[in-house]
Structure 1
Amino acid sequence: MDETPVLVDRRPDFWVLTLNRPQRLNSFTQAMHVALMKALDEAEAQGCRALLITGAGRGFCAGQDLSDPIAKGDLGDTIERYYNPLLRKLRNLPFPTVAGVNGVAAGAGANIAFACDIVLAAKSANFTQAFAKIGLVPDSGGTWLLPRLAGSARARGLALLAEPLSAEKAESWGLIWKAVDDDKLIAEAEKICTQFGSGPTFGLAQIKRALDAAETNDFATQLDLERDLQRAAGRSPDYAEGVKAFMEKRAPVFTGRER
């Protein structure tokens, strides 16, 4: 069992979680699942306002470590106990999440990155839906995320052919926000997290809710949701501060609170 499978760096404006099994390209074990869920729970409970997830060494995450006991037996049970709760937690966090993909992102590792709100990738990085190579189905939200991010044809090609997709092509296909030079990746990711960490966190959370709901809502239902979310955002201290700062021609000081 790894001593520290996830490193947690609590900064004033945001947290950094580093997957820390570099000798195995940060592939998942039961211990890493437990540590990552614990870190996400703590980030939410302790008022974190933005989160950066990256990997130690030369990889972001190579998916599941196939030598770990949870990779054997009933894989449906493994998904239900570990991967699905992780993806639900990550997707529903009430603050922005940023993936800093520093190297290979394969299998669940790729889909965990895609589940973040903003994905930055080093130009040397690549994304692979490796499941088909061993007779499995994309999980960790892959079959939901890929068609929505890349379109049906590209999603099928990525899932069935299991070919690596470069960071720059992932950007051009709309799968990620930006591909950046390797030596600028973390600085760029931290810059975005700093912006989020001092931003109107409650309002940003409502944007996330609206965009997620738009994937399945019809237009009329989405209009109603926008109305309801805007009502809540309009009552927040950050909206009042934003308007006041605009009128006073100064930078706003947001607290991130709902009330």
Structure 2
Amino acid sequence: MPYLNETGDVVELHLGAPGAELDETNPENRFRLDWLDEVERLLGEVTADPKRPLVVTATGKFFTNGLDTDHIFAAPDQLPAYLDRVHALYTTILTLPVPTVAAINGHAFGAGAMLALCADQVVMRTERGFWSLPEAALNMPFTRGMATLLRTRLPDRTATEAMYSSRRYGADDAVAAGIVDEAVPVEDLAARAAELAAGRAATVGANLTLIKRGLRGPLLADLAIPTPAGVLA
């Protein structure tokens, strides 16, 4: 399960399990209900006592593989409420009272790729892993909130290509496309993410949330719209 780790000048939110490269119960860090519960709880701790910038990362093959498809297929009637929870997680990260950096250690797919874009800055390892939106290839739509997230966080040409084609971007291609800020060797990933986050440490506090809400107002409004029942119809 996800956990917080204080290290140097930052706090790290690890999306996997402590002491293991892969969480055996959720090796792809998918958005399971219990996983969402824990991530929201941990981010609640950050919000309640904001002291240091936050780095969001993981270990192993995946940053996160996004939605829990097992849950979706097992309980299709619960899909709108499930997607609303995902939107709420995005909103939480977008409005944290601390600077945030996503350090993409491996594959970031679908909803997981979008989660990375909720951070203020994004760095990605060079040796392994792709950032990708597979929805078109899977014949799945984007919710209104997700589409607005992608439209506002990516250059228009990149959003169009990524959403229409399901292209897989390696780190260097992701930098060129404006998806991530830097491509970093894996041995430097954590340190570089911490350096970027710590560089904005002076802005930690409630005022930063107000600034983020002002900047992201239309996006936050779309993320707050309840998902319609026929989203996959």
Same fold (TM over 0.5): yes
Aligned pairs for 1:1-259 within 5 A? 5-11=1-7, 13-20=9-16, 22=22, 23=24, 24-68=27-71, 72-74=75-77, 75-80=79-84, 82-123=85-126, 124-139=128-143, 141-197=145-201, 199-202=202-205, 204-205=208-209, 208-209=212-213, 211-212=215-216
Contact residue 118 and residue 177 of structure 1 kept, 8 A: yes
Q: Whose Rg is larger?
A: 1
Residue segments in structure 1 that go unaligned for 5+ positions in a row: 217-259
- Structure 1 segments, 4+ long, off by >6 Å, are none
Distance 1:178 1:150 in 2: 15
Distance 1:184 1:145 in 2: 28
* Aligned-pair CA distance for 1:126: 1.6
Q: Alpha carbons of 1:71 and 1:171: their partners in 2 closer, same or farther (altered >3 Å)?
A: farther
Q: Alpha carbons of 1:135 and 1:71: their partners in 2 closer, same or farther (altered >3 Å)?
A: farther
Return the letter of the residue paired with 1:100: A
Distance 2:198 2:144 in 1: 28
Higher helix proportion: 1
Q: Alpha carbons of 1:58 and 1:159: their partners in 2 closer, same or farther (altered >3 Å)?
A: same
Return the letter of the residue paired with 2:14: T
| 1:236 match | none
* Aligned-pair CA distance for 1:179: 1.1
Distance 1:127 1:53 in 2: 15
The alignment of Structure 1 onto Structure 2 pairs a total of residues equal to: 210
3-state DSSP of counterpart to 1:57: coil
* Aligned-pair CA distance for 1:86: 0.7
Q: Alpha carbons of 1:140 and 1:125: their partners in 2 closer, same or farther (altered >3 Å)?
A: farther
- Give the alignment's TM-score, normalised by structure 1: 0.72
Once the two structures are overlaid, the 10-residue window that deviates more, 164-173 or 38-47, is: 164-173
Return the letter of the residue paired with 1:59: F
* Aligned-pair CA distance for 1:71: 6.4
Contact residue 101 and residue 119 of structure 1 kept, 8 A: yes
* Aligned-pair CA distance for 1:70: 7.9
Contact residue 63 and residue 107 of structure 1 kept, 8 A: yes
Kindly report the root-mean-square deviation, in angstroms, between the aligned alpha carbons of the 2 structures: 2.6
Distance 2:160 2:28 in 1: 26
Structure number with greater CO (CA < 8 Å, separation at least 6) is 2
3-state DSSP of counterpart to 2:70: coil
* Aligned-pair CA distance for 1:121: 0.6
Contact residue 105 and residue 129 of structure 2 kept, 8 A: yes
Distance 1:98 1:57 in 2: 18
Contact residue 70 and residue 78 of structure 1 kept, 8 A: no
- Give the alignment's TM-score, normalised by structure 2: 0.79
* Aligned-pair CA distance for 1:151: 3.2
Distance 2:145 2:125 in 1: 23
Summarize deviations over 1:62-112 as a string: whole Å, max 9, x none. 1123223686313212112x2011111111111111100001000110000
* Aligned-pair CA distance for 1:16: 0.8
Percent identity, please: 25
| 2:228 match | none
